[in-house]
């Protein structure tokens, strides 16, 4: 793989337009009741609560087949991991313990979860079946482990490890042999582990005092690559379903790139004043946030017609759009 480093490249700025409401249903989080809760929007733009409770929700993650949703839920100060079945409407408390659990990650086949838990008075990585059975603690060191991710090609779990609560390193652990190894550079903070669709590659954001980098770990080559470096704030990103494009929120705008493992990133276009991207499952449109009159609203852009539509018009922030 060739390493491609991008620094302040020119882009085509797309103008905002409006169009009719899209037909794809989406999930979202809003604070309409005063705390972050899950809602769903149908193809007509109508919004209604997804769950029949009043607890705080965070880190929603769709299953690989987009039929289930794993998320963190807080009840009286205690966080648990839940799964909601989008077809049957059934909810399962996966962890159901007095410990703090969160950051759920789906296995590639959707049959298991990995998550962070403080059950042993330390933040470790665990795996379990979807009903909470077959619970396995896979990290046991006196450090903080978080943001687990299943390897796309091996029976391994990847995660960030910190010994001081500030600086993190990327690690992987073989789930059969138990062997653990460090695979990332030390120093700085890291977040947002993602699988590159269709590739044996992992992406993440690396934050350092004077530099933010969009990083890639290649499982075939066992190497880390810096695909993009900037002194500007890098807050979030999302891959297209085919892994051929990526949208990265940088310094208050959404920068969209073409991607190939041979050539790295190539600039495509920018959506101004936008962040928190999420691709439609068709790959033909992208969802994101814009702040309107001080409130975060959800927008959608059709990538073929280049038309933009505002999907929410609430007096409360609406975030975490998840098309399913």
- The SS3 call for residue 200 is coil
Query: Residue 94 corresponds to which tokens in the numbers above?
Result: 């996966």
Cβ(245)–Cβ(256) below 8 Å? yes
User: The domain that contains 58 carries what CATH number?
Assistant: 2.120.10.30
Position 194 in a domain: yes
Give the per-residue pLDDT at 185.
65
Position 221 in a domain: yes
Task: Report the distance separating Cα 250 and Cα 271, nearest Å.
Answer: 11
Give the per-residue pLDDT at 256.
96
Query: Residue 237 corresponds to which tokens in the numbers above?
Result: 């990103």
Task: Report the distance separating Cα 247 and Cα 113, nearest Å.
Answer: 26
Say how many domains are in the chain: 1
Give the per-residue pLDDT at 270.
95
Position 225 in a domain: yes
Position 14 in a domain: no
Give the per-residue pLDDT at 3.
46
Cβ(14)–Cβ(306) below 8 Å? yes
Q: What is the pTM of this model?
A: 0.86
Position 268 in a domain: yes
Cβ(156)–Cβ(170) below 8 Å? no
**Domain coverage including residue 203:** 26-323
Position 2 in a domain: no
Task: Report the distance separating Cα 94 and Cα 143, nearest Å.
Answer: 24
Give the per-residue pLDDT at 154.
85
Position 145 in a domain: yes
Give the per-residue pLDDT at 128.
95
Q: Strands (DSSP E) along 169-279, which ranges? A: 169-174, 180-182, 189-195, 201-208, 211-218, 223-230, 234-239, 245-250, 253-260, 264-272, 275-279
- Identify the segments of the chain with pLDDT beneath 70: 1-23, 164-167, 185-189
User: What is the DSSP pairing of strand 285-292 with strand 275-279?
Assistant: antiparallel
Give the per-residue pLDDT at 171.
86
Position 16 in a domain: no
């Amino acid at each position: 793989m060739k390493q491609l480093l991008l620094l302040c490249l020119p882009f085509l700025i797309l103008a905002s337009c409006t169009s009719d409401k899209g037909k794809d249903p989406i999930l979202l989080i809003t604070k309409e009741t005063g705390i972050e809760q899950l809602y769903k929007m149908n193809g007509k733009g109508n919004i209604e609560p997804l769950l029949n409770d009043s607890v705080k929700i965070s880190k929603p993650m769709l299953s690989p087949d987009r039929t289930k949703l794993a998320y963190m839920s807080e009840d009286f100060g205690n966080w648990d991991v839940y799964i909601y079945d989008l077809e049957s409407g059934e909810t399962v408390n996966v962890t159901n313990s007095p410990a703090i659990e969160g950051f759920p990650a789906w296995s590639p086949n959707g049959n298991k979860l990995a998550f962070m838990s403080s059950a042993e008075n330390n933040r470790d990585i665990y795996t379990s079946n979807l009903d909470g059975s077959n619970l396995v603690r896979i990290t046991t060191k006196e450090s903080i482990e978080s943001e687990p991710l299943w390897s796309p090609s091996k029976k391994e779990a990847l995660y960030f490890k910190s010994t001081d609560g500030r600086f993190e390193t990327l690690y992987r652990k073989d789930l059969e042999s138990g062997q653990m190894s460090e695979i990332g550079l030390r120093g700085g903070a890291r977040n947002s582990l993602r699988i590159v669709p269709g590739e044996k590659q992992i992406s993440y954001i690396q934050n350092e005092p004077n530099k933010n980098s969009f990083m890639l770990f290649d499982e075939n080559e066992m190497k880390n690559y810096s695909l993009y470096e900037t002194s500007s704030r890098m807050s979030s990103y999302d891959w297209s379903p085919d892994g051929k494009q990526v949208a990265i929120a940088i310094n208050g705008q959404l920068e969209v790139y073409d991607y190939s493992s041979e050539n790295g990133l190539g600039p495509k276009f920018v959506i101004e004043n936008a962040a928190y991207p999420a691709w439609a499952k068709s790959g033909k449109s992208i969802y994101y946030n814009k702040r309107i009159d001080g409130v975060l609203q959800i927008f959608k852009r059709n990538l073929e017609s280049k038309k933009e539509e505002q999907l929410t018009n609430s007096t409360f922030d609406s975030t975490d759009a998840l098309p399913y």
